[in-house]
Amino acid sequence: MTVLLAEDRGAVRILTMNRPEKRNALNTALTLALLEALRAADKEQAIGCVVLTGAGQGFCAGADLSEFKDLTPQKQHLVEARAELTMQLHLAFPKLGKPVVTAINGAAMGGGAGLAVAGDLAVMADNATLGYPETKHGIVAAIAMANLVRQAGRKAAFELLGLGEPVGAQRALALGLVNRVVAEPQLIEEALGLAHKLAAVSRPAMQLTKQLFHEAADLPLAEALARGREANKRMRSFRKLR
Reference 131, options 163, 86, 164, 174; nearest CA is 164
CB-based contact 50:4 (threshold 8 Å):
no
Distances 214 to 126, 148, 157, 178, 211 between C-alpha atoms, Å: 28, 14, 19, 17, 6
- CA triplet 31, 208, 45: central angle to 5 degrees? 60
Helix (H, G, I), strand (E, B) or coil at 99: coil
Q: How many whole angstroms separate alpha carbon 230 and alpha carbon 23? A: 44
Q: How far is CA 173 from CA 88, 157, 165, in A?
A: 27, 14, 16
21, 36, 134, 184: the active-site residue? 134
129, containing H or E segment: strand 129-131
Strand order in the sheet with 167-168: 108-109, 129-131, 167-168
Residue 210 · residue 119 · CB < 8 Å: no
Verify whether residue 184 is a known catalytic residue: no
Helix (H, G, I), strand (E, B) or coil at 108: strand
Would you please indicate which residues are annotated as catalytic (active-site) residues?
134
